[in-house]
Amino acid sequence: MNARVRPARPADKDPLMSFIKNIWGGRDRIPRLWDQWLKDKTGKVLVVEADGVPLGMNRVRFLEDGSAWLEAARIHPDFRGRGLATMLGESAMRTAMGKGVEVFRLSSGPLNRAAHRQIARMNFKESSRVSLYEPDAGAKFASQEGVRRAGMKELAQVTKLISGSREFRLGSGVYWNTYVAASLSPSAIKKLVRQGAVWTADESAAVSTLERAGSETWSQVCFLTGKGYEPLKLVRHVFGSNEGAKATRRMVWIPQGSRIIGALRGAGFSRHASQVLFELKVSGGQDGGERAP
């Protein structure tokens, strides 16, 4: 089979969606995002074809932290196991390296062993595991005393609190937003504080976002650290705020191994999903020349 990878075209939609529409029991997000992705300048969609027939796709996103996020790898069921996903992944990485990117991340479900083997072939290493917790039906939330948005005057203190935390270490220094992980570097923390996305209470801190996901609005605690029940206080405040009250879905991302998980479970939160984070750092880029992983 003579396969090649190229940029996606509008005409690829029908042949790709003919099999993608059946993935995940018909709940795959790609059919409703395809047209938007082709227009989005912050990412690039690639297609692998053989004899002019599209057999698979993936997408690379260029994140604000300077990293690239690989996602949406889909291969026709009849052509899996032939190296097409690896071709797509390496092509996406070369595209990003041409823009100077040196840090790549992607995620997979913990039980997807086939994907893990393919990811390993691209030299990615598992860096952490994270779980998504959501409140049980009927849970009530309200603003909490002592919780405040962090201001720029507190930047040094907040940066030290987050960067030195157990959750930062367990989670390999990232925060999660709509199933995408980005670095919690000092510059990223500074930007999040400026945006009003960081909350504090004593020696606890949380990063929150409010995002649109199709017809839903997600209120997310993207990073959470602290001792005792203070982190839970932050969660209750975020979800009980004016913004959080409007959400159709409330989510807490927490690295596996965190002691905060016990407090969440005790407060009526249940785990709804888990993700394995993989990372690869390369050298090269626009000035140094591209180097395949």
* Mean pLDDT estimate for the chain: 93
The CATH label, of 3.50.50.60, 3.30.2020.30, 3.30.9.10, 3.40.630.30, for the domain at 3-101 is 3.40.630.30
**95-128 residues labelled b (16+ CB within 10 A) or e (exposed):** bbbeeebbbbbbbbeeeeeebbebbeebebeebb
Distance in angstroms (rounded) separating the CA atoms of residues 47 and 7: 6
Query: Are 3-101 and 131-275 in the same CATH fold?
Result: yes
State how beta strands 148-149 and 198-201 pair.
antiparallel
Written as six digits, the tokens of 203 are 């020696």
Residue 181 pLDDT > 90, yes or no?
yes
Residue 35 pLDDT > 70, yes or no?
yes
Q: Which pLDDT belongs to residue 284?
A: 61
Residue 120 pLDDT > 90, yes or no?
yes
Per-residue pLDDT of 247-293, as tens digits, reads 999 999 999 999 999 999 999 999 999 999 999 999 765 443 334 44
Q: 293 and 280 in contact (C-beta within 8 Å)?
A: yes
Higher-confidence residue of 238 and 1: namely 238
Per-residue pLDDT of 53-109, as tens digits, reads 999 999 999 999 999 999 999 999 999 999 999 999 999 999 999 999 999 999 999
User: Residue for token digits 């989005």?
Assistant: 40
Q: Which pLDDT belongs to residue 24?
A: 76
Q: Which fold would CATH assign to domain 131-275? A: Aminopeptidase (3.40.630)
**158-176 residues labelled b (16+ CB within 10 A) or e (exposed):** bbebbeebebbebbbbbbb
| Axis-axis angle for helices 30-39, 13-20 (nearest 10) | 150
Q: Which amino acid is at 153?
A: K
Domains of the chain by residue range: 3-101, 131-275
Per-residue pLDDT of 204-241, as tens digits, reads 999 999 998 778 899 999 999 999 899 999 999 999 98
Percent of the chain with pLDDT over 90: 87
